[in-house]
């Protein structure tokens, strides 16, 4: 699915956009302490065969990010495809509850809504099995051979940024990115969903690509990404394919933004220590939604946007469920408290 975001710099002035658009997948998540499914997610309270350890949460990269943007007090549009089933009802209700606009999320009775089964361990780590359903099969070309409606194109063209991920067909992402490029809207690509190199038709349309270390290695053909030098070399490979800025998340070591126009002038974001990890599911989605909101909606610089995103994900992992992003005020208070602690 797709997220249209926020705020962008025009040639003469900063224009405040009133929404973010997310092109996303949605999964209903099953968790068996943790089996998760948009996907609807089923999530238990610890690794266990006890049926009482199973819970159901809405999720999926697109849905998580769209909900996150709304939690951070920016208008969020969600563009995607779902089935016409009970899981779709849960998905729609969850996004409505987060005040995400789902007017461009049609149902398709011929395919099921996506599901993700998430196995959540007691330490908060997880593994996931995904059944894509409508996220892949629900996208149908119209009589003009287009996947996107006029309304969806209008939403993208008037947004501040477009957030894409690879749990939907590549050709849909390409079509959406072309609309964004035609209107100078930044395109942000989450590489999750596939372990293969980026579609060569999509790569030149991407303004920010943001993998973690493992994903960076996968999309670059298995090159090492263990050291900073490895990461810089892999980022160079992505730039040679036409992509611009590369933002790599590196777990406890934080994140690195490598700009296209000056790759030696990197910006680093640090992570925050969390003593009570409950569920890491969706932490990356929360980070990306928070960065997009801070950078393109709130017009923060890259460094501050990275810290805002790190704080958001640190708060999320202390809660159960991938769509449990903190509010804007919670993040600001957390940053203020962290700053006070470090200076004392």
Phi, psi of 79 (to 5 degrees): -110, 120
Question: Which residue in the list 30, 87, 207, 285 is annotated as catalytic?
Answer: 285
Peptide bond preceding 39: is omega within 30 degrees of 0, i.e. cis?
yes
User: 76, 89 in Cβ contact below 8 A?
Assistant: no
Phi, psi of 154 (to 5 degrees): -65, -40
Closest by alpha carbon to 235, among 252, 255, 253? 255
User: 48, 32 in Cβ contact below 8 A?
Assistant: yes
Active site residue 285: yes
Closest by alpha carbon to 249, among 227, 230, 271, 229? 271
Q: How far apart are the C-alpha atoms of 141 and 146, rounded to whole Å?
A: 5
* Eight-state DSSP code of residue 205: G
Phi, psi of 147 (to 5 degrees): -85, -30
Q: Which helix (H) or strand (E) holds 335?
A: helix 328-343
Quote the tokens at residue 322. 């991938």
User: 317, 124 in Cβ contact below 8 A?
Assistant: yes
Tell me which residues are annotated as active site: 285
């Amino acid at each position: 699915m797709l997220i249209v975001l926020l705020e962008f710099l025009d040639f003469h002035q900063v224009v405040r956009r009133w929404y973010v658009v997310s092109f996303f997948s949605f999964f209903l998540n099953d968790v068996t302490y943790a089996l998760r499914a948009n996907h609807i997610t089923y999530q238990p309270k610890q690794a266990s065969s006890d049926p009482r350890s199973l819970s159901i949460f809405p999720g999926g990269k697109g849905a998580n990010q769209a909900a996150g943007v709304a939690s951070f007090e920016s208008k969020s549009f969600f563009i995607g495809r779902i089935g016409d089933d009970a899981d779709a009802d849960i998905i729609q209700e969850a996004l409505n509850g987060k005040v995400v606009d789902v007017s461009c999320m049609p149902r398709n009775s011929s395919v099921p809504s996506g599901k993700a089964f998430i196995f959540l361990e007691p330490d908060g780590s997880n593994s996931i099995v995904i059944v894509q359903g409508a996220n892949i099969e629900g996208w149908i070309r119209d009589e003009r051979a287009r996947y996107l409606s006029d309304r969806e194109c209008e939403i993208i063209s008037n947004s501040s940024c477009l957030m894409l991920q690879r749990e939907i067909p590549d050709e849909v992402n390409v079509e959406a990115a072309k609309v964004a490029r035609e209107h100078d809207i930044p395109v942000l690509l989450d590489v999750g969903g596939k372990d293969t190199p980026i579609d060569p038709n999509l790569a030149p349309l991407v303004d920010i690509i943001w993998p973690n270390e493992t994903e960076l290695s996968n999309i670059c053909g298995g090159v090492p990404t263990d050291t900073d030098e490895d990461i810089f070399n892999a980022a160079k490979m992505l730039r040679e394919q036409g992509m611009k800025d590369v933002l790599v998340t590196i777990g406890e070591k934080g994140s690195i933004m490598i700009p296209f126009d000056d790759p030696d002038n990197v910006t680093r974001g640090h992570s925050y220590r969390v003593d009570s990890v409950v569920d890491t599911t969706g932490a990356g989605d929360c980070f990306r939604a928070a960065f997009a909101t801070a950078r393109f909606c709130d017009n923060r610089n890259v460094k501050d946007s990275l810290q805002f995103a790190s704080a958001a994900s640190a708060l999320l992992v202390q809660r159960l469920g991938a769509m449990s992003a903190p509010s804007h005020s919670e993040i600001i208070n957390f940053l203020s408290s962290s700053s006070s602690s470090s200076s004392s």
